[in-house]
Homo-oligomer: A and B are copies of this chain.
């Protein structure tokens, strides 16, 4: 279990679904960690939303696509070109459901000749893990009209270092930090492992993002223990259930129920609001009645998520 700088920096660049509005960017999430970034979804205007939020997309190594609807992909060609103009030369990985390669290739008809390599990977299994430095990205398939994935970002945290135990084992002081950082060492023919001086694993950091789906068991499992659960709430009013069923989207109350059922979720941010919902805050109380720490964020809201204590 590796040592980690204990912080995920996240920014919800937009909160809209279906189409960008003059006062609402399309939903996408930027996750920053140790100078690298992952972008989840890229609808029309996402690159502008990032500028508005004062964040550069040049350090983006990976773009995760939830699904291939336009409000989650239409910003790709513009962003790919802008990243080239920003001087990006390192490879970019684009990961999404089956069909992602075809869509990226098609959209690139207006973004040819980039100065960096694009590597597309398609998610074939219902649950997959994507490495990103020492963050585990867990992709989980949800229930929309077309294949769609949610993503959890988890940063594990090792147990607490016990100086008393290290002293008992006569481990020299110069090895303490290395063991604490997760390294295994040899000393005088003896193997020293982190487990010898560390307590039980502690709660790490977890951010879960999930949009364009009906409620399902896999979301409950993935969202468990999330410090921040960002979840679609296309419609605020429970009376919109028929529409939500028809379009395979969720109500605020359904998103809140997922946050409640997942267990040990610290905070729920609703997102992906329908253009027909000009004031999502008017329905927030419905979510809060089920999951009290429900929030209607604004475009560009940021949060630094750190290990507790």
Encode A267-297 as 1/0 by CB contact (under 8 A) with B.
Answer: 0000000010000000000000000000000
Question: When chains A and B are docked, how far (Å) is the Cα of A119 from the Cα of B78?
Answer: 25
Contact with A68, one of B51, B69, B73, B110 (Cβ below 8 angstroms):
B110
Encode A100-137 as 1/0 by CB contact (under 8 A) with B.
Answer: 00110011011100000000000000000000000000
| B52 near A22: Cβ-Cβ < 8 Å | yes
A97 CB–B CB distance under 8 Å:
no
| B70 near A47: Cβ-Cβ < 8 Å | no
Shortest Cβ distance from A266 into chain B, in angstroms?
31
Shortest Cβ distance from A153 into chain B, in angstroms?
26
A257 CB–B CB distance under 8 Å:
no
Shortest Cβ distance from A114 into chain B, in angstroms?
11
Encode A67-84 as 1/0 by CB contact (under 8 A) with B.
Answer: 011110111011001100
| B78 near A74: Cβ-Cβ < 8 Å | yes
| A78 near B20: Cβ-Cβ < 8 Å | yes
Q: Which residue of B lies closest to A78 (CB)?
A: B44
A19 CB–B CB distance under 8 Å:
yes
| B109 near A19: Cβ-Cβ < 8 Å | no
Question: When chains A and B are docked, how far (Å) is the Cα of A69 from the Cα of B68?
Answer: 23
Contacts of A77 in B (CB 8 A): 44, 70, 74
A contact residues, total (Cβ < 8 Å):
32
A216 CB–B CB distance under 8 Å:
no
Encode A48-76 as 1/0 by CB contact (under 8 A) with B.
Answer: 10011000000000000000111101110
Encode A11-53 as 1/0 by CB contact (under 8 A) with B.
Answer: 0000000111110000000000000000000011101100110
A5 CB–B CB distance under 8 Å:
no
A184 CB–B CB distance under 8 Å:
no
A85 CB–B CB distance under 8 Å:
yes
Contact with A109, one of B71, B102, B110, B275 (Cβ below 8 angstroms):
B102
Contacts of A21 in B (CB 8 A): 48, 51
Q: A18-B85, A22-B51, A22-B52 are in contact. List 5 more A-B contacts (CB 8 A).
A: A44-B44, A45-B45, A70-B78, A74-B78, A106-B107
Shortest Cβ distance from A180 into chain B, in angstroms?
43
